[in-house]
Chain A
Amino acid sequence: MKHTSSKKSTERLSHILSHHKPERVELIPILQEVEEEFGYLPREAMLEAANFTQIPASDVFGIATFYNRFRFTPLGKHPVKACMGTACHMVGGALVLDALERELGVKVGDITHDGEFSLDRVACIGCCFLAPVVVIGEDIHPRVTPFKVEEILAGLKERDAGKTAHKD
């Protein structure tokens, strides 16, 4: 994900639109690229995509909300995804999600006040042999327990604190 780019968001958006045709079949790929670029679908980007493809904005919004992949609030610096697949559920995935909500102080779909962590659930990432699984950023954490949740989050916070201290 490149959502930390310093370029102006309008430029980033027109860059995405520049390699698509203004057709309905391109709408979902456009929204996917916007999501990839910004980490979520900003309202202005959806309006711009509607304008570009000549599809009513309400229709664009209807499509975006239909599909699970799109989110409408920014991702945290550490996007946390708890796998809620069958295999994960059967070995305590729900307890792990409880622990994440408790430790982060947010509910699924939200982001912490400081913007550090966002919490989502995913249907299945297909790593069933490592269940239960939590994905943070690009890292897959295998065989997570509620206790390990605390350790993982503490580790990330510590790493971030270390980095800030280093900069100072």
Chain B
Amino acid sequence: MPARPPTRTSISPQMTFDQIKDQATSEWEALQQKPHILVGTATCGRAAGALDVLSTFEAEIRRQNIDAPVVPVGCMGLCYAEPLVVIIKPDNFSVCYGNTTSESVRRLVEGYVVGDDPCFELALGTLEVADENAPSIPELPRFEHELRHILRHCGYINPESINHYIRRGGYSSLIKALGTPQQEIIAEIKASGLRGRGGAGFPTGTKWGLCHNASGQPKYIVCNADEGDPGAFMDRAILESDPHSVIEGMIIAGYTMGTPHGYIYVRDEYPLAVKRFKIALQQARTKGLLGNNLLGSDFSFHIEVAEGAGAFVCGEASALMYSIEGKRGMPRVRPPHSVESGLWGKPTLLNNVKTFASVPMILDRGAEWYASIGTEGSKGTAVFALAGKVAHTGLVEVPMGTTLRDLIFQVGGGVPKNKKIKGVQIGGPSGGCLPESLLDTPVDFDSLTKVGSLMGSGGMIVLDEDNCMVDAARYFLDFVQKESCGKCTMCRLGTKQLLDILVDITTGKGKIEDMDLLVELAEDIKEGSLCGLGHSAPNPVLTTVRYFRDEYEAHILEKRCPALVCKELIAYYIVPEKCDRGCEHCVLTCPTEAIKSDEKRIKIIDQTKCVKCGNCQMVCPPEYDAVIRVSPPSAIPQKN
């Protein structure tokens, strides 16, 4: 039975919303008339000390008795420069400062909040292109490539204030939707070309259509915020920085499916995201934008928060739904797909955080606008969490079709310490490692799949010459092997066997026949597993064997780790000619007392005691640089 569209009461939702919007506007404008300070307080900022920065600002401003509100905001994406601060003045530049400390806060209050010196020497840049003498953020090379749509509010609004979101256009798409027939909304999403941002890239409009047409009541809307890939933090950042965009997307989905039931399944390791999302829900209820009879219409929608309990496999739709139901999160055979039989066996629409966050802007700006961004098969933008050996770690958003090279070098600022890039790992444990030679691959669903990786949810780890690809494959297999739910034999035992072979190779016990066995076993695991975890678990192995075969062969045939990483295949050695005999740094920091001085006070490592922790190499003063790693261990020069 299709749900009825809401009937009009004497006060239309539009009229009610106009009042809400006026209120939001006056609150926002009152803020804009004063100097005010935005402090990034998402998890990334907090880890870097943002709460100290925030309280120092508050204390300084109280002490000096100034009227300048301090506003906690989310993540601007420039995580490498956290804690981030923006000072906005009504009649002067808005300036962004990075790596702030309690000391620089005092300077900034004195210099720019009270005075008129924008302290450019501490600034990353102005928010607008304002003055040719001042650095500006939009003129940074990265913003030639970046296009922030999904992250459009992140770092600019207080995530705990619904008014900020409304003032920037929030919830107006919901109002538009409430007056639109459901089929038209589905057609609009279809026309936009939006594909699921959870990684698989299924066309969202098609999914919405299937769920809408599915028989069975009630239907459920589920937001998948179980961001389990290690090295991925996009969804967390969105929930912590702009929760209302996700809520609005979910409500629109609820209206389109004609159901009042919504769930969000959030990863348990994200306490701040859960907290801010719950605050946002409460505020939306208070405004009448969520709950019974939304804005006086006869459509009702509720969202329950289900906190995950730490199981990577629960990112898979059927496992996630079992987990909400209070069961072990083990995927089941499909079909039936969740759009027909999902939560409690009812038709369920499950989308990722970024997919829901994209819905309001598509309805607001139109499918045609959205479809004009990106490539033929992949529309819109892609959000990545950029980490590893890259200068500008953080969140980036680029149009689909941007090359990996531009993403890493232009947006990410390249590899630090003049190191050579070796490759990039995309899509977490389900994705693949691509070599430097494939960096001109465009970022889109189809191109990445073609080269053996996948878009995944958006984790991107840059690897340099100091990373061992066999070790990287072993790391991911160790992860999926632990996270396999155990239902399918090939996944449960096959990943264990893959891991055992990789451990053998990284510890010098590999045989050359293992190479074929790895590939054969990997293909069998793909074939013999039910869900995405098993299907994609061998990807890190297959791509590293394909693109970095020489590294495997060095481990197997020469018992040598070319990147000098695998512990069993390396040894630390102090070059006698370089050792400064008076310095004792290495001796003092060795945890196992493996370093002794000889009669000339040159330091020598006792290989039988060395645990290869690397302390000696880290503390050896750079002017001597006497400690090196060699592989294989037999390569240590022997004293005659």
A interface residues (Cβ-Cβ under 8 A, vs B): 23-29, 31-32, 62-63, 66-70, 84-87, 89-92, 95, 98-99, 102-103, 122-131, 133, 140, 142, 145-147, 150
Question: Is there contact, CB below 8 Å, between A84 and B230?
Answer: yes
Of chain B, the residue at the smallest CB distance from A35 is: B309
Tell me which of B384-392, B440-448, B599-607 binds A.
Answer: B384-392
Question: Is there contact, CB below 8 Å, between B311 and A67?
Answer: yes
CA distance A69 to B537 in the complex (A): 22
A98 to chain B, nearest CB (A): 6
Question: Is there contact, CB below 8 Å, between B309 and A67?
Answer: yes
- Point out the residue from A25, A68, A147 that lies within 8 Å of B310, measured CB to CB: A68
Cβ of B463 within 8 Å of any chain A Cβ, yes or no, is: yes
CA distance A29 to B309 in the complex (A): 9
Question: Is there contact, CB below 8 Å, between B479 and A123?
Answer: yes
Cβ of B228 within 8 Å of any chain A Cβ, yes or no, is: yes
Some 11 contacts from A to B, beta carbons below 8 A apart, are A63-B326, A67-B329, A85-B230, A91-B388, A103-B591, A123-B228, A123-B310, A124-B229, A124-B269, A129-B79, A146-B615
Question: Is there contact, CB below 8 Å, between A24 and B479?
Answer: no
A68 to chain B, nearest CB (A): 3
CA distance A128 to B459 in the complex (A): 11
Cβ of B635 within 8 Å of any chain A Cβ, yes or no, is: no
Known contacts A70-B309, A86-B231, A103-B591, A27 near B326 by CB under 8 Å: yes
Cβ of B564 within 8 Å of any chain A Cβ, yes or no, is: no
Chain A residues contacting B329 (CB-CB under 8 Å) are 66-67
B interface residues (Cβ-Cβ under 8 A, vs A): 43-44, 46-48, 79-80, 82, 228-233, 236, 268-270, 306-312, 323-329, 385, 387-389, 393-394, 425, 428, 459, 461, 463, 467, 472, 475-476, 479, 485, 589, 591, 611-615, 618-619
- Point out the residue from A32, A85, A99, A140 that lies within 8 Å of B307, measured CB to CB: A32
B407 to chain A, nearest CB (A): 16
B235 to chain A, nearest CB (A): 10
Of chain A, the residue at the smallest CB distance from B227 is: A126
Of chain A, the residue at the smallest CB distance from B330 is: A66
Chain B residues contacting A84 (CB-CB under 8 Å) are 230
A108 to chain B, nearest CB (A): 11
Apart from A87-B231, A90-B472, list 18 A-B contacts with CB within 8 A: A24-B326, A24-B327, A25-B326, A26-B326, A66-B311, A67-B308, A69-B309, A85-B230, A86-B230, A86-B388, A99-B591, A102-B611, A102-B613, A124-B269, A128-B233, A130-B48, A142-B48, A146-B591
Which one of B385, B589, B591 has the highest number of Cβ atoms from chain A below 10 Å of its Cβ?
A: B591
Of chain B, the residue at the smallest CB distance from A141 is: B47
A24 to chain B, nearest CB (A): 4
- Point out the residue from A86, A103, A130 that lies within 8 Å of B459, measured CB to CB: A86
CA distance A142 to B79 in the complex (A): 13
Question: Is there contact, CB below 8 Å, between B385 and A128?
Answer: yes
Chain B residues contacting A133 (CB-CB under 8 Å) are 47
CA distance A98 to B591 in the complex (A): 11
CA distance A63 to B309 in the complex (A): 10
Known contacts A129-B80, A131-B387, A67 near B326 by CB under 8 Å: no
Question: Is there contact, CB below 8 Å, between B231 and A85?
Answer: yes
Known contacts A24-B325, A90-B461, A146-B591, A125 near B611 by CB under 8 Å: no
Of chain A, the residue at the smallest CB distance from B329 is: A66
Question: Is there contact, CB below 8 Å, between B309 and A147?
Answer: no
Question: Is there contact, CB below 8 Å, between A129 and B393?
Answer: yes
Of chain A, the residue at the smallest CB distance from B234 is: A126
CA distance A128 to B80 in the complex (A): 9
Question: Is there contact, CB below 8 Å, between B231 and A124?
Answer: yes
B361 to chain A, nearest CB (A): 25
Known contacts A66-B329, A69-B309, A147-B615, A127 near B591 by CB under 8 Å: no
Chain A residues contacting B310 (CB-CB under 8 Å) are 67-70, 123
Question: Is there contact, CB below 8 Å, between B230 and A147?
Answer: no
Of chain A, the residue at the smallest CB distance from B313 is: A66
B387 to chain A, nearest CB (A): 4
CA distance A84 to B615 in the complex (A): 20
Chain A residues contacting B479 (CB-CB under 8 Å) are 123
Which one of B44, B47, B324 has the highest number of Cβ atoms from chain A below 10 Å of its Cβ?
A: B47
A72 to chain B, nearest CB (A): 14
Chain B residues contacting A31 (CB-CB under 8 Å) are 309
Of chain A, the residue at the smallest CB distance from B463 is: A90
Of chain A, the residue at the smallest CB distance from B476 is: A86
* 9 nearest CB pairs, A to B: A68-B310, A128-B387, A67-B309, A124-B230, A126-B233, A129-B393, A85-B230, A86-B231, A69-B310
Chain A residues contacting B385 (CB-CB under 8 Å) are 126, 128
Known contacts A66-B329, A69-B309, A86 near B428 by CB under 8 Å: yes
B578 to chain A, nearest CB (A): 20
Chain A residues contacting B232 (CB-CB under 8 Å) are 124, 126
Question: Is there contact, CB below 8 Å, between A98 and B309?
Answer: no
B271 to chain A, nearest CB (A): 10
Question: Is there contact, CB below 8 Å, between B618 and A127?
Answer: no
Known contacts A87-B387, A129-B80, A95 near B326 by CB under 8 Å: no
Chain B residues contacting A87 (CB-CB under 8 Å) are 230-231, 387-388, 393, 461
Chain A residues contacting B459 (CB-CB under 8 Å) are 86
Of chain B, the residue at the smallest CB distance from A81 is: B269
CA distance A43 to B59 in the complex (A): 47
Question: Is there contact, CB below 8 Å, between B48 and A99?
Answer: no
Chain B residues contacting A150 (CB-CB under 8 Å) are 591
Question: Is there contact, CB below 8 Å, between A63 and B328?
Answer: yes
- Point out the residue from B43, B388, B461, B614 that lies within 8 Å of A127, measured CB to CB: B43
Which one of B270, B306, B309, B485 has the highest number of Cβ atoms from chain A below 10 Å of its Cβ?
A: B309
Question: Is there contact, CB below 8 Å, between A147 and B618?
Answer: yes
CA distance A98 to B592 in the complex (A): 13
Which one of A24, A29, A69 has the highest number of Cβ atoms from chain B below 10 Å of its Cβ?
A: A69
Known contacts A86-B459, A124-B231, A128-B233, A69 near B613 by CB under 8 Å: no
CA distance A1 to B42 in the complex (A): 21
Of chain A, the residue at the smallest CB distance from B324 is: A25
Known contacts A128-B385, A130-B48, A122 near B269 by CB under 8 Å: yes
CA distance A67 to B307 in the complex (A): 12
Chain B residues contacting A68 (CB-CB under 8 Å) are 309-311
Question: Is there contact, CB below 8 Å, between B613 and A129?
Answer: no
CA distance A131 to B615 in the complex (A): 17
